[in-house]
Amino acid sequence: MNSNLHYYLKILVLFISLMLTACGSLLSSVTEDFGKNLTAVILNHNDPETVANAIPAYLLMQEALIKQQPDNQKLLLSISTLYRSYATIINKNEQRLQALSDKALEFGLRAACLQKNNFCQLQQLYFSNFETIIKQSTKDDLDSLYTLGTAWALWIQAHKTDMNALAQLAQVKTIMSQLIKLDESYQNGAGHLYLAVLESLLPPALGGKIDLAQQHFQAAIKLSQGKNLMVQVLYAKHYARLLFDRELHDRLLNQVIAAQTKANNLTLINIIAKQQAKQLLESADDYF
């Protein structure tokens, strides 16, 4: 295990043992700082396997902490994000993906409820009421909206054979649309990336808004300054393949393979993007 991850996990165990005597407010601050630091270590790590092996223990310890601090919204946001990140790394196991996505959405919904009272029970609302509430959100709600939207998107992906889950794509689209309305540069334009994928789920003949998808992909590349290599991978996978555009497909993926991997808070996802780019190129002859 990477020494930094090992160090942080050892420190977290120490924090848990101190919970019995620590001041609640001080513990909350320390826990939040730790979660922020570990998240940064994970995002900037260069070995997905090491991260995948380390995250489960930390997630269990975070859940133990949240039982002591059920109203710690920052901790809830952190747990949801880590469950989503872990699911992304091990997404080939369908049953585990469903279980992890359930957790990510659960904690994302809890965090949103602590953000605002009218964010509670969002999954149970009629869409018209849901849309009204989301459109009334402000920049103060960005972290909650993004965490919830990304967790919800993962949950739908994991339960894609369930029509009730697929019917909730409109909720994710509404959240991401509001996100870019409030701050399109948030998380390097991640709102645009999610909308790009959503708009390219269907071909034009079936109602897919493929031109709009391309606009969102290009906006995501611009806002991330081309440093988030996963944007190009998804552009190739969901747009170029949908239109059977081999030239665009190969150009995007070869750009990913040739690009520098290291980037602040993007190194891990870029390594995964390179792996996926190679796989897509290897299967291109069969696809096209």
In the chain, where are the structural domains located? 184-288
Higher pLDDT, residue 30 or 147:
147
The SS3 assignment for 259 reads coil
Contacts of 8 (CB under 8 A, 6+ apart): 34, 37, 38, 41, 58
Contacts of 33 (CB under 8 A, 6+ apart): none
**What is the residue whose two structure tokens read 């995964």?**
272
Higher pLDDT, residue 5 or 227:
227
**What are 181-216's pLDDT values in tens digits?**
999 999 999 999 999 999 998 778 777 789 999 999
Q: Which helix (H) or strand (E) holds 104?
A: helix 94-115
The span from the CA of 207 to the CA of 201, in Å, is 10
pLDDT score at 53: 82
CA 41 to chain centre: 16
Quickly name the fold that domain 184-288 has: 1.25.40
The span from the CA of 89 to the CA of 124, in Å, is 29
Q: Are 252 and 245 in contact (CB under 8 A)?
A: no
Q: Average of pLDDT values for 74-83?
A: 90
The span from the CA of 202 to the CA of 209, in Å, is 8
Q: How far is CA 149 from CA 32, 55, 192, 194, 222, in A?
A: 21, 21, 12, 9, 22
pLDDT score at 260: 93
Q: What is the mean pLDDT of the chain?
A: 86
Q: Average of pLDDT values for 52-80?
A: 88
The span from the CA of 219 to the CA of 238, in Å, is 16
pLDDT score at 20: 38
The span from the CA of 181 to the CA of 191, in Å, is 9
